[in-house]
Amino acid sequence: MNNFEYQNPTKILFGKDQIENIKNEIPKDAKILVLYGGGSIKKNGIYQQVTSALKAYDFVEFGGIPANPEYAILMEALQVIKEQNITYLLAVGGGSVIDGTKFLSSAALYEGDTPWDILTQNIRTTKGMPFGTVLTLPATGSEMNSGAVITREETQEKLAMGGPGLFPKFSVLDPTVIHSIPQRQLANGITDAFNHVLEQYMTYPIGALLQDRIAESILQTLIEVAPKILKDPTDYKAAANFMWSCTMALNGLIQKGVPTDWAVHAIGHELTALFGIDHARTLAVIAPSHYTYNFESKKEKLAQYAERVWQVTEGTLEEKAQAGIEKTEAFFKSLEIDTKLSDYTQDYQGTAQKIAQRFTERGWKGLGEHQSLTPNDVEKIVEMAY
């Protein structure tokens, strides 16, 4: 096991009817900016619950944060923060709204030339404007971590940021929000969380027995509840397990003391930037090819995963490892998530070279748990995913 540091101060309020308790978490004298996305919260009752809980507060709203939170729109929200002397942010939404709010938390206190530098110069945020979240779409884990990914359409870029100042003060996880989420988004959420675990697990054995087992526990739970949620989003038991699994998949715990990969995300982000493919779906496209291309270095963990998560008991280590990849792809397909780039666009020719070129231009140091994958490797992985 590697040495590690772990700290996660976010307070979780989990369960039905927890939204009203946000009034116990936000300072009474706060001037709040409530941030949300396309307005679905006004149809499913969440907006009403939030504004009811905030009725004793001074707050203003900023809606319209899109999936893949767009820098230009966030800069408009930053303007509101400055003009209205906002002191507290409340994200009501999924990962995009929460990530956008993290950017604003950092940008609101940033003293440099332009907040874009936070993203391009990898400036870690040690202190941000305080914020809480009301999660409306389980998937990204952003509600209990300190990272964010921001998109800038102008330059077709999708860049990461983070730092200990960007943990939410609190996050409300009410599983009843799942009732009104479209099937497509539910399938994306399951796929996203599943891949988050894989990025922190599918590397090489390092003797972190408990971290491995907790990662496998999350994967097993997602597999168990996935068909139930897709069949009936009002199944509270399944929804609660789905929601908590998504949070636990990326709250930092399972990555401590172990090598992590994240190549699937790095490559997947490019597919979203180039084609606008849903984030989770880009992961389902890249992961099987990535594991196949890097089979030799990942086969021990692939076989352990096949045995423990999918109960594959027959065959050699290599055969089990191969079965692990096949089971993963079949699982994504069972969620009606396609796993080839050509399922999403007819315009895929040349994508591999284009992405490799972008990695080269950015001076990337090498992807994967060994930081050894070159732009040439990336090109081959993307080609395998056509």
Strand partners, 134: 92, 172
Q: Which CB atom, from 245 or from 294, has the smaller least distance to a second copy?
A: 245
Residue 320 to residue 312: CA distance in whole angstroms: 7
- Which residues here bind a second copy, judged by CB under 8 A? 1-18, 207-211, 213-214, 216-218, 220-221, 224-225, 237, 240-241, 244-245, 248, 256-257
| C-alpha pair distances (Å), 98 with each of 95, 132, 148, 185, 215 | 5, 9, 8, 16, 24
Q: How far is the CB of 4 from a second copy (least distance, A)?
A: 5
Q: Which CB atom, from 15 or from 63, has the smaller least distance to a second copy?
A: 15
Q: Is residue 380 classed exposed, middle or buried when 0-12, 13-18 and 19+ CB atoms within 10 A define those classes? A: middle
Segments in 114-252 forming alpha helices (H):
116-120, 183-201, 209-231, 236-249
Q: How far is the CB of 133 from a second copy (least distance, A)?
A: 14
Q: Which amino acid is at 79?
A: Q
Q: Which CB atom, from 80 or from 206, has the smaller least distance to a second copy?
A: 206
Q: How far is the CB of 237 from a second copy (least distance, A)?
A: 4
Contact yes or no for 68/272 (Cβ under 8 A): yes
Q: How far is the CB of 189 from a second copy (least distance, A)?
A: 15
Q: Tokens representing 145?
A: 């971590």
Length reported for the chain = 386
Q: How far is the CB of 212 from a second copy (least distance, A)?
A: 9
Q: Which amino acid is at 281?
A: R
Residue 333 to residue 51: CA distance in whole angstroms: 39
| C-alpha pair distances (Å), 373 with each of 361, 365, 376, 379 | 15, 9, 8, 10
Q: Which CB atom, from 20 or from 76, has the smaller least distance to a second copy?
A: 20
Q: Which CB atom, from 124 or from 237, has the smaller least distance to a second copy?
A: 237
C-alpha dihedral (277, 187, 289, 194), degrees to nearest 10? 120
- Rounded (10°) angle between helices 263-275 and 375-384: 70
Residue 211 to residue 199: CA distance in whole angstroms: 13
Q: How far is the CB of 9 from a second copy (least distance, A)?
A: 4
Q: Tokens representing 215?
A: 């990662």
Q: How far is the CB of 275 from a second copy (least distance, A)?
A: 34
Q: Tokens representing 200?
A: 């922190």
Q: How far is the CB of 239 from a second copy (least distance, A)?
A: 10
Q: Which CB atom, from 173 or from 355, has the smaller least distance to a second copy?
A: 173
Q: Which CB atom, from 25 or from 157, has the smaller least distance to a second copy?
A: 25
Q: Which CB atom, from 90 or from 249, has the smaller least distance to a second copy?
A: 249
